[in-house]
Amino acid sequence: MTIPPFKFVKDSTITMTELVLPHHTNQLGNLLGGQLMHWIDICAALSAAKHSQRVCVTASVDSIDFHHPVKLGHVVTLSASVNRTFNTSMEVGVKVFSESFSEGIRVHTNTAYLTFVGVDADGKPQKTIELRPETKDEIRRFEDALFRREQRLKIRYSAK
């Protein structure tokens, strides 16, 4: 396996589409938060694996913001890409959209940030591939990811 010295954000993009079925919903007919978190984790893990070319494990979930409920019968589209890489970890951002085909409405429902670590066959963390942002939005997300990482580390060290 050839490991390149760097990759671009577009090289890590993953898009998943899910249909919200009755077993995905609560008593109000809304998508269960836990089900959505499961889909977010899978989409983000695939993005991290695509970037690093190895199995990646979830190290942390910073936040998952719920902007709007997702209803039974809606189509959920999740889009993930690596925002920034560090030594062995990488931050992945996920945007979630809900779409009602019958109403012709598409809404941004959720945003999430997760940290992943690429591991070898023994589960040991491995150095990750450098990320090179290209567009203004990618550069902004790259810079914002450093701020979020600093906040995560402050919280981690203050808890000790």
Question: Does the pLDDT value for residue 113 go beyond 70?
Answer: yes
Share of the chain above pLDDT 70, in %: 99
Give me the pLDDT at residue 81, please. 98
What are the tens digits of pLDDT across the range 3-32?
A: 889 999 999 999 999 999 999 999 999 999
Specify the CATH class of 6-158 in words. alpha beta
Q: Give the residue from 101, 102, 26 showing the smallest Cα distance to 66.
A: 26
- Residue type present at position 22: P
pLDDT digits (tens, 9 = 90+) for 39-48: 999 999 999 9
> Across the chain, where does the E strand assignment appear?
6-8, 14-19, 56-66, 75-85, 89-100, 105-118, 130-132
**E-assigned strand segments in 67-157:** 75-85, 89-100, 105-118, 130-132
Q: Tell which residue, 100, 64, 99, 69, has the closest CA to residue 80.
A: 64
Averaged pLDDT for residues 133-143: 97
Confidence of residue 154 (pLDDT cuts 50, 70, 90): confident
User: What residue type is 64 in one-letter code?
Assistant: I
Q: How confident is the model at residue 1 (pLDDT cuts 50, 70, 90)?
A: low
Q: Which residues have C-beta within 8 Å of that of residue 71, sequence separation ≥ 6? A: 20, 29, 30, 31, 98, 100
Domain limits, the chain: 6-158
